[in-house]
Chain A
Amino acid sequence: MKKRLLTLMMTAVLALSAVACTSTGTGTETVTEETEATEAAENSGDEGQETTVPDEGNSESSDKILRAATSFAYASIDVHKEYYGWYTSIYGVSEALFKMDENMNAVPLLAEDATCDGSVWTITLKDGVAFSNGNPLTADMVVRNLQRLAEVNERFAYLADFEMTAVDDKTLTIDTGDVYPTLRNDLASPEFGMMDLDNTTDFDNDPICTGPFVISKFQPEGDVEVVRNENYWGGEVKLAGAVFYYMQEDDPKLIAMQSGEIDCYNSVSSAALAVYEQEPDKYNVVSIPGARLQFYILNENNLDDSVREAINLTVDKDKIAEYLSGTVSAAVGPFNPSAAYGQVTVPAVDVAKAKEVLEADGYTLGDDGIYEKDGEKLCISIKYYAARSLDTIALLIQEQLREVGIDSELGVEEDPDATYLATSDFDLALYCMIADKGGDPLYFIESTLMDGAFLNCGGFEDAHCEELIGELKFETDSAKRADLANEIVQIAIDDNAFGYVGLFNSTTVLRPGVTGFAENIPFDFYGIDANTTIE
């Protein structure tokens, strides 16, 4: 019988060997141009350290390859389509006319300047800007890029209404019809990245752009490799190249960081953050408040003023932020408090006052510790969706409200836009969105506070606020815009129409010596640039 068992075991081993000998491959990648980056990056896994490739001509530059992980990957890298421009920007391949800086200002990148006279913007391009193939970026090419963006991306279809003219090689004008104060901010969006439309033959796989890096290998919905743009118009590019590994899950990213297979990544989870913080000599963690906001909408059609006020006096954002272990910062208003348009105030958490407010409105505390009025228990419905930590926040809010005497029922939906936000079937609705997409408050205010806006689904109405929004749309002075925005948001806060819970931190982990991975910029669409280095 032992022989029989042995035979069976041998059969199993043979079967395994047969499987092992089967050559596999995902067979998906589109190789644009083979470079040393691939081999260098693969070799790097053995050593667990940064790798080098032979330097070709740029003697002052580093010969190192950065290895990063990204949570998203797409089927195309056409800069103008969908959100692909975010990724070509992260890869250091595409550049827009302006760029958001650390202080959330749109600063010139490919453009020298942009001036506004009424509805006409005049944009001047920098001297010497060229694509990676050496062709210069002209005003005419910029105009054609903007026209293409309007055609292929529904979010930017409004550009088709603008009259765009190339005045000369370096100057173009854009007549927006009405006064359009935020054009400069729009032009900083990564979708406005410039491509050589005359010479790009494969927009989905190999766009020719102006960035410090060029695509060397693009695997649709997979890994991406870039190498230094030897013709970069902006001067020295410090890295020889970079590899972006597509890794959706947090645990593999953590293990890859521990095993030395990657050098950096952002959107670090709280669990991974706790691990990195235990070894500060091995990992450098940079965390700054980002532009993604967690907030709730209070339904004015269902809830008394006193209940809304009591809720806002009870929800303790600091405790929520603490519970979420460094992944969010407690919010005051919807915007980063360091921005000029983020200067609003909210009442401090005060449970005793919350009770007073309820009792003054006729609510009495029942034996079960829940307030009631006219024989009805005070119980609100909290709607949320299980993403961006909103499920955790819903539970924490439920717990905090119960302490003050407000009962609640949780309701989870997969798609908030198609369910509770569309029907206003909620008392308290949680939502997460990018509140500041380009250094200006108008987008968020129009999306949430304006009469008829999709996210103004809790019945908030204020004639003065509407008037101020009208002013904000056409105000060109930055300081006045900030004042208007602060006044508008303060009205909504004072009306207890919303509760701004937390701003997601933009958290990046880097191996010591790695710098310049946009770790200090609170936007999701920046990554490597000419100054990214590995010491």
Chain B
Amino acid sequence: MIRSVLKKLAEIIIILVVLSFFVFVLLYIAPGDPAEKRLTSQGIVVTKQVLDAERERLGLLKPFLVRYGEWLFSVIKGDFGVSFKDDMPVAPKLYKGLVNTCILAFSSLMLSLSLSFTLGVASAVKKDGIFDHIVRIFSFVANSLPNFLISVLLMYFFCIKLDIFPVIAAGDLQGLVMPVLSLAIPMTGRFTRQIRAEILNRMNEDYVTGMKGRGVKNRYIILNVVRNSLGHIFTIVALQIGTLMGGSVVIETIFRWPGIGKLVMDSISARDYPVIMGFVLIMGAIYVVVNSLSDVLDRTLDPRISE
């Protein structure tokens, strides 16, 4: 057990080092200059001398491998460096963004899972009935709507027409409702279809036919099917977590939610390499850990996978 954990840890470290080097190369060869972005952010043009002095100060004139080596060693020592955009330490920025995004992602995931699990299972059980048709239409429409459109529509109805939420909310529970709904609605549409399909797929397996032949009550059959589908559902959720962590930038911007998606998009625009590299490391670690956990969970729920 300890050996396999250590092996997994070593794998994670190697993946992260390779990933960070690859991203560092990409940033190096991509056009754009953090010094120029910083100095001209308001549309003021600066002279070459000023630009060169800023490049020197930010360490951009050092050779590529020296820059990567310095960054890697400082990360090993626990220092993610300072932002090229504003000279502020990177670690607190990432921490703040990560916490806020986790709150948003976890809340919308829980809401979405609760709804889609209920709708998906019920829809599969009532296949081709009116309820099933309604759920399928809902999941199709919800899955098709882009986040930003849902956000603006929710804002219009809740803030202007119904006047029950403020447009400008503080970072509290009230401020969480609309961004969570905006993220959860399309995700619910997607999950519902996937869960429904998975349940229906399992319903056609031999053991279900056997259970039916033995006269097992329908509710027990469904419970068994649901239990056996959990591994697949967890995999779907695990894959979605990565998207949620980095991909809710539109929602974060519209609802003024200071999450990591918005932070990294701003950092990419500003060529803020230290923040981008820190983000890549953290997201890489989250992806690897979540997918490893999903594998373990899959094996626990369905021992056939390990065989």
Contacts and interface: CB of A to CB of B under 8 A. Distances in A.
A261 B168 contact: yes
Interface residues of A, number: 64
B254 A249 contact: yes
Interface stretch (B12-20, B59-67, B103-111): B103-111
Contacts of B167: 252, 255-256, 259, 261
Contact of B159 (A5, A27, A255, A437): A255
B54 A154 contact: yes
B43 interface: yes
A258 B160 contact: yes
B258 A222 contact: yes
B104 to A, nearest CB: 9
Given A155-B46, A245-B168, A417-B36, A20 B86 contact: no
27 contacts: A1-B218, A12-B114, A15-B114, A16-B114, A19-B106, A24-B173, A24-B175, A25-B171, A42-B170, A82-B38, A249-B253, A249-B254, A251-B152, A255-B152, A255-B159, A256-B159, A259-B159, A259-B160, A259-B163, A261-B167, A292-B43, A415-B32, A418-B36, A432-B43, A443-B45, A454-B45, A455-B45
Interface string B67-92: 00000000000000001011110000
B230 interface: no
B39 interface: yes
A11 B111 CA distance: 11
B269 to A, nearest CB: 9
B106 to A, nearest CB: 8
Contacts of A1: 125, 218-219
A24 B172 contact: yes
Contacts of A454: 45, 47-48
B146 interface: no
A259 B117 contact: no
Contact of B31 (A16, A75, A81, A415): A415
A418 B32 contact: yes
A23 B173 contact: yes
B117 A24 contact: no
B103 A252 contact: no
A259 B166 contact: yes
Contacts of A278: none
A322 interface: no
Contact of B121 (A8, A19, A24, A432): A8
B100 interface: yes
B114 A22 contact: no
Interface in A235-281: 245-249, 251-252, 255-256, 258-259, 261-262
A154 B255 CA distance: 34
B44 A155 contact: yes
B118 A433 contact: no
Interface of A: 1, 4-5, 8-9, 11-13, 15-16, 18-20, 22-28, 42, 45, 74-76, 81-83, 86, 154-155, 157, 220-222, 245-249, 251-252, 255-256, 258-259, 261-262, 292, 413-415, 417-419, 432-434, 437, 443, 447, 454-455, 524
Contacts, number: 159
Contact of B53 (A13, A157, A437, A455): A157
Interface string B18-52: 00000000000001110010111111111110100
A252 B182 CA distance: 14
Contacts of A5: 118, 122
A82 B87 CA distance: 10
B68 to A, nearest CB: 20
A231 B42 CA distance: 32
Contact of B168 (A26, A45, A81, A437): A45
B129 to A, nearest CB: 11
Interface in B83-142: 83, 85-88, 93, 96, 99-100, 103, 106-107, 110-111, 113-115, 117-118, 121-122, 125
A16 B114 CA distance: 8
A433 B115 CA distance: 49
A222 to B, nearest CB: 6
B256 A252 contact: yes
A154 B39 contact: yes
A24 B152 contact: no
B45 A447 contact: yes
Interface residues on B, range: 35 or more
Contacts of B170: 26, 42
Given A11-B118, A25-B171, A76 B88 contact: yes
Interface of B: 31-33, 36, 38-48, 50, 53-54, 57, 83, 85-88, 93, 96, 99-100, 103, 106-107, 110-111, 113-115, 117-118, 121-122, 125, 152, 155-156, 159-160, 163, 166-168, 170-173, 175-176, 180, 218-219, 222, 253-258
Given A45-B166, A247-B168, A248-B253, A255 B155 contact: yes
Contacts of B48: 454
Contacts of B46: 154-155
A322 B85 CA distance: 36
A189 B219 CA distance: 74
A131 B255 CA distance: 36
Nearest to B103: A24
Contacts of B93: 75
A488 to B, nearest CB: 17
| Most chain A beta-carbon neighbours within 10 Å: one of B106, B118, B180 | B118
Contacts of B219: 1, 4
B69 to A, nearest CB: 24
Nearest to B167: A256
Contacts of B99: 27
Given A24-B103, A259-B166, A8 B171 contact: no
A155 B166 contact: no
Contacts of A252: 155, 167, 254-256
Contacts of B110: 15-16, 18-19
A119 B278 CA distance: 49
Contacts of A413: 31
Contacts of B41: 82-83
A23 B107 CA distance: 11
A252 B257 CA distance: 13
A1 B131 CA distance: 13
A292 B106 CA distance: 43
A415 B33 CA distance: 9
B190 to A, nearest CB: 17
Nearest to B83: A75
Nearest to B171: A26
Nearest to A83: B42
A96 B50 CA distance: 23
B90 to A, nearest CB: 11
Contact of B43 (A13, A155, A221, A434): A434
A1 B107 CA distance: 29
Nearest to A452: B48
Given A24-B103, A26-B258, A255-B167, A419 B31 contact: yes
A8 B43 contact: no
B235 to A, nearest CB: 20
B107 A19 contact: yes
A20 B48 CA distance: 54
A103 B237 CA distance: 60
